[in-house]
Structure 1
């Protein structure tokens, strides 16, 4: 049996995936959780062979959880399962140690095949997304620029962003200006949008 852990913050999606995988004679869903932190804790308890993890979750996101799982339980093979097939997410997932990347609108048989494939020691990656990721390259943003854009996501003044990231107003302005230049944006709100669309945040 292939022991699978599911992590998705949407209960309906989690339940549907568990029900679908549960129909397969060689797959057993051993845990379903709603956050990245719960995924790591549940994996330590249940020792799954494969973890199917959403990218965007509250608190510790799926990419952070994948990296933690790789360190805590190297035998567990991680597949990222997301609504957004963004090249930046794909690249970050591979760096975090994921061996599979599927989008939620994939056909059920494709998801099942991905689980079996990674369990067999192979990768399960959409070739179009891999090609797009190679063309677009990795994120041009530094860690600080990414942090400042994340804080700018919900709007706010430079002073408000500076308070959130514990930097001076001038430093925040510099990081925003650099991020705007790297994304080809006109404003920091547009830089946030472009970075999100590319999966860099």
Structure 2
């Protein structure tokens, strides 16, 4: 399990495969807060690798196999800084930054911080700062407090996934077993809480 060690108790899990052709690019994936690298590794990364491209998937501190020290703010500034440290360490060629949900914000901020990119893919990313976004962020955190990630998926899934995915995964939702709350020390809880302050005022005109 490859990990980049940042300091004692702080690591970043990653999985990197360089391009196998001269024309290939490196797709660098940014998760949603409640996701992990597994969603990219299952089908998307293998298909891109088969086509000669490289892939770099990683988990934010607080997600699976990426550790953090107590008291550390797992906010957007930290995640973007971690992305820069990982890219500087691995130096993947011809990066295409791919972000899902708020991961797209982190991808954009990585580029705006000076990391060169051959392209960018933002998936369900655009947000308008204001009361509605603040409400949704607080609601997601309250769901985590009451019923963990399963409750978040059950309540917000229809707003996130397409109908094909919903039809295929309906059998795994709304189980009869009790929900399990997340504690305030849990990585996903910390990410949901700390990233509520993320700066969504992105100068999109500079993503050229």
Q: Normalised by the size of structure 1, how large is the TM-score?
A: 0.37
Answer 1 or 2: which has greater helix percent. Answer: 1
Instruction: State the structure with bigger RCO (CA 8 A, min sep 6), 1 or 2.
Output: 2
